[in-house]
Structure 1
Amino acid sequence: MRDLFLLSERQMARISPYFPLSHGVPRVDDRRVVSGIVYVIKHGLQWKDAPQDYGPHKTLCNRFMRWSRLGVFDRIFAGLAGAGPKPERIMIDATHLKAHRTAASLLSKRGCSRRIGRTRGGLDSKLHTVCDGEGRPLVMLLSDGQMSDHKGARLMLGALPPAKALIADRGYDSTPFRQALLAKGVEPCIPSSRSRKIPFPYDNALYRQRHRIENLFARLKDWRRVATRYDRCAHTFFSAICIAAAVIFWL
């Protein structure tokens, strides 16, 4: 395939157990199709502009949409991340992802949120992420752009992996969140907000490692269909994020 992206046999062996079983007519080559999906998401292409080496573009699009609805890519990311080494420390942060005009509808016909909100920068989605000490994503949550970091952290609290410490910026400084972390046996490394009269102590040397989650977001946004949201449905956009995270950090 010239210089095009192609998953290796080892990578396919790691993700193929998460593929749904084929019924009736055998599927087209999974390796070629999934590699084509990765190529389109990374380069921000329309499906019709996918290189012909990957086969018909309708096959790529249909496979991506169908497996997104089934949650296949979500399970691939969760399975690969869960099989990694247990982290001693974790980090949490959030970033905004700009919504293109093709994804700018706030509500679906059924009234379900598309995870797009209106902020000062326009319409966007927000990606809340927990990563390990090496800057590899462990848990991700897609929300409306206007959702606060506090609310996103509360929603992810039950999914936090066991760790000795959690690093976060002062946007996550709240007494309930600190208490919830301590109840889970996690030491918060969070600078106090300027409104606190008595600041909480924290390990400044450990806090300097927080740049790794910022690097994580930068690497994810190198994939153009992650940096800019073109998908109207939240599950298809989140699937694209899961594919990018799995390929960049876990394969």
Structure 2
Amino acid sequence: MTTRVLLLGGTAEARELAAALVDRPDTIVVSSLAGRVADPRLPVGEVRIGGFGGPAGLARWLDTHRIDVLVDATHPYAARMRSSAVRAAGETGVPYLRLERPGWTEGPGDRWHRVPDLDAAAELVPRLGRRAFVTTGRQGLAAFLHLTGAHLLVRVVDEPTIPLPENVTVLRDRGPYRVTAERELLTAHRIDVLVSKDSGGTYTMAKLDAARDLGLPVVLVDRPAPVALPATVTEVAAALAWLETAPPRR
């Protein structure tokens, strides 16, 4: 019997899971990417790019393509997609699994300031420094543009589509990053405060290590409030194990 899996991806964990499933003779996996990055890292196997049209559109897609299992491995901050996936899975009776890497943990020497959202992060920045390295993504950049009294070095994958003031320098790059290079970047730009989301994982963790080495404060934006989910795992191996015993579609 063949199991048809829809894998909501865009993360390193999603690509790893797709690679583990694609050659299984009893599994058909389709990876879905939101399409917010112009040149995304594509997983192996079949890929679709773009939205579904909310929970109702996703439910129709699950039915039309006879999906047996829905694995949501989207970014920890993709709260809207996660909500749509849970609702669509519930409406169609498709078993749902959330694969989400753990957040980062503060250690000795870290100077972290946790805040609930981007607006709170922007409010805190001027109290901690005047040259900020902002790594919260292109879509949330507008929250920081009123900080005319500080210089902002913003790292993004794609060029911002909104007008930027003169105090903003754009650095286009994507991980994974190395601690040595991150430390050199912070030093070269005379950064005195780092702004990040609590993305977790190893791809972008080097900036936190570099900030610790340099004694810099970090403004860390917390993840969206957790919601009740049918099933959640934090590692690809656990997701594979869950798929072996996933309940049938109702």
Structures share a fold, TM > 0.5?
no
Q: Which structure shows the higher helix fraction? A: 1
- Using the size of structure 2 for normalisation, the TM-score is 0.26
- Using the size of structure 1 for normalisation, the TM-score is 0.25
Q: Which structure shows the higher strand fraction? A: 2
